Structure 1
Amino acid sequence: MLQDAHGREFSYLRLSITDVCNYRCNYCLPDGYQCESKQQHLSLDEIKTLVSAFARNGIEKVRITGGEPSLRRDLCDIITVIKNTPGIKKVALTTNAHQLDRHVKAWANAGLDALNVSCDSLDGRMLKAIIGRNNLTELLNGLAIAQTTTISSIKINTVLLKQYNYAQIQDLIAWVKDKPISLRFIELMQTLDNKVYFEKNHVSAQHVADKLTAEGWQAIQRSKSAGPAKEFYHPDSLGKVGFIAPYSKDFCQSCNRLRISSLGKLHLCLFGEAGHDLRPLLTKDKQHQLDACIDALLNDKPLSHFLHQGISGCTSDLAMLGG
């Protein structure tokens, strides 16, 4: 099991397969994806070598992220390769729902176990104001199809925004009452480029926690390979509700995840200063060097991020590493 200098063990890998995104979410890429130069994203063979190395060292869950991962034409092949890697127990995918209704069956058939879908509002006009388009129909249709497949876990990610969807929290909670879906409210995080926007729209996740507790929701214990969300259940609700609170004082204490960029760089923290290039070691004859490099780099993982001090490292937007 991979372990850092603070005793934290890592069983969860977030793997970005592209930094390209086709949406213009105002909290992430308000001006759209900026392609300054054509970059060569990790190939299928490189992904296979990389995931195999992490699996040898205790990683059990891989989440495929972007940018928007569905923009890669070989996504089904990527899912299959990861799913068939010895040691990997769960393959998850995070998507903005682009053509979800057209592709989700193929992803399931390729071996996808879990699906996270971004949905910041159930109001089409509000969606367009937040993400730059109204994709509600394909999103809802895609979710309905996903529930007919072998995908065992479906979650909705909603970024809380004071000036936009904060007043619609109750609508979203009511929506999952009769659906086997987990709804997670994500606390807006400050990046290099969104300081003014952050100050106008940040809502503390503690408000959500207080609201859920007051309404009779009860906390669920996190599993070893779970993400950072704190989830709650209610006896009158089929769906679950939770929140991701990066500004909570104990957020980094239970960190169990590492991140790989679409260019093969290991990021020890979403808000770290730089990534460590593993690409030169992604060949079959350098397995031992790759394992040793990953193990050594974990000694540099910081105890905590510095978001409370307004320091977001090199993260200019969340699309660059898939969050």
Structure 2
Amino acid sequence: MLTDNFGRQFQYLRLSITDACNFRCQYCLPNGYHAEHDRQFLSLNEIDTLITAFARLGMRKVRITGGEPGLRKDLPDIISLCRSTAGIEQIALTTNGFNLEKNIQHWADAGLTALNVSADSLDTQLFASLTGQAKLQTILRGIAKAEQSGIKNIKLNAVLLKHFNGQQLDEYLAWIKQRNLAIRFIELMEVGSNKTFFNKQHISGEVIKGKLLDQGWFAMPRAPLAGPAQEFSHPDYQGRVGLIMPYSKDFCQNCNRLRMSAMGKLHLCLFSEQGINIRPWLTAGDVKGTCEAVRQALTDKSASHSLHLHQTGATKHLAMIGG
């Protein structure tokens, strides 16, 4: 199993398959997507080499991200490839849900086991204002269809924004009261392109945590292979709440994730520098070489990010590597 110099073990890979996105979320791509390279994203064969290598290194969970991964027509093939790789137990997808209603059954049939859908507001007009897309009702129908497809682990992601959804906690809680799924509130993170927006809109997740505890929610044990969210449940609610708070103390202490960009670069942290290019080994189909490159790279992983010092590394926006 992959272990870094701080004793942290890594069993969870976040794989970006495109950095393109068709939404214009105000905290990420307010001016829309603009390609900054030749867009030669990892091919299916390169992804095969990658997943095989990481499985040999002890990875048990793969989360497919973007940009917006639903833009790739071969997404079912990528899911199926992950599902057929020995050692991979969980295949998750993070999506804005624009084509969820149409494609979720295909993804489920290919082997998808978990689904995260961005829903930064449950108000139709506010959602359109935030994302540049009037897609909320289509997305909610897609989530309902995902529940019917047999996928057991379904979450909604909402980035906390002071002047948009910051006062909508009660609406989200009402929505999950009779639904066996989760809402995850994500603290807005500062990146290279959103400093002004961040300063105006950031809300500490600790504020939401305090409200939940006051209302009788209680913390749940962290599940194996889980991401960084602190999860909460309540005896009167079928659904659960998760909080991702990257500015909280010791946030990086239990890090169990590595990230691959759609261009074949390994990122040891969401807020690291340019990433480590391991694509030559992927293109050559060299599983052993890929394993060695990853092992060597991990020796340089830092103990923590430096977001609290406003050091955001090379991350200009979260679509670059899928959060």
| 1: CA distance, partners of 2:283 / 2:196 | 44
Structure 1 equivalent of residue 229 of structure 2: 229
How many residues of Structure 1 are paired with residues of Structure 2 in the alignment? Answer: 323
The residue number in structure 1 matching 2:27 is 27
Per-residue deviation, 1:261: 0.1
- Equivalent-residue separation in structure 1 for 2:38 and 2:298 (angstroms): 30
**Cα pair distance change 1:102/1:258, threshold 3 Å:** same
Q: How does 1:36-55 map to 2 (within 5 A)?
A: 36-55=36-55
**Counterpart in the other structure of 1:318:** 318
One-letter amino acid of the structure 1 residue matched with residue 172 of structure 2:
L
Secondary structure at the aligned position of 1:174 is classed as helix
- Give the match for residue 113 of structure 1: 113
- The residue number in structure 2 matching 1:268 is 268
For 2:267, the aligned partner's letter is H
The question of 1:277 aligning with 2:277 is answered: yes
| Corresponding residue of 2:83 | 83
SS of match in other structure, 1:272: coil
1:294 maps to 294
Question: What is the 5 A alignment of 1:114-263?
Answer: 114-263=114-263
Contact 2:14 2:65 in 1 (8 A): yes
Aligned to 2:70: 70
Instruction: Structure 2 unaligned segments of length 5 or more: list them.
Output: none
Give CA-to-partner distance per residue, 1:19-39, whole Å, 9 cap, x none: 000000000000000123432
SS of residue in 1 equivalent to 2:228: coil
Shift of 1:150: 2.2
Could you tell me how far apart the structure 1 residues matched to 2:237 and 2:286 are? 50
Identity %: 52
CA distance in 2: counterparts of 1:142 and 1:239, whole angstroms: 18
Q: 1:41 to 1:216 in 2, by over 3 A?
A: same
Structure-2 separation of matches of 1:21 and 1:296 = 32
- Separation in 1 of the partners of 2:36 and 2:45? 26
CA distance in 1, matches of 2:182, 2:190: 25
Equivalent position amino acid for 1:121 in 2 = S
Query: Does the 8 Å CA contact 2:270/2:315 hold for their aligned counterparts?
Result: yes
SS of 1:20's equivalent?
A: coil
Q: Distance in 2 between matches of 1:173 and 1:38?
A: 43
CA contact (8 A) 2:55 2:86 kept: yes
Structure 2 CA distance for aligned equivalents of residues 56 and 252 of structure 1: 24
> How far has the Cα of 1:285 moved from its partner?
5.9
Aligned equivalent of 2:3: 3
Residue 123 of structure 1: CA displacement? 0.6
Which residue number in structure 2 is paired with residue 104 of structure 1?
A: 104
Which letter maps to 1:300? Answer: D
Distance in 2 between the 1:187 and 1:29 partners?
17
What is the CA distance between 1:277 and its match in structure 2? 0.7
Q: Equivalent residue of 1:115, what SS? A: strand
1:176-200 superposed Cα distances (whole Å, 9 cap, x missing partner): 0100111010000000111110000
Shift of 1:290: 1.6
- Corresponding residue for 1:307? 307
Bigger Cα displacement from structure 2, 17-26 vs 144-153:
144-153
The Cα offsets for residues 149-207 of structure 1, whole Å up to 9 and x where unpaired, read as 12120000000000111011110111101001110100000001111100000000000
Separation in structure 2 between the aligned mates of residue 217 and residue 122 of structure 1, nearest angstrom? 21
Query: Could you state the TM-score of these two structures normalised by the residue count of structure 1?
Result: 0.98
Alignment gaps of 5+ in structure 1 = none
Helix, strand or coil for the counterpart of 2:274? coil
Quote the Cα distance in structure 1 between the aligned partners of 2:124 and 2:101: 17
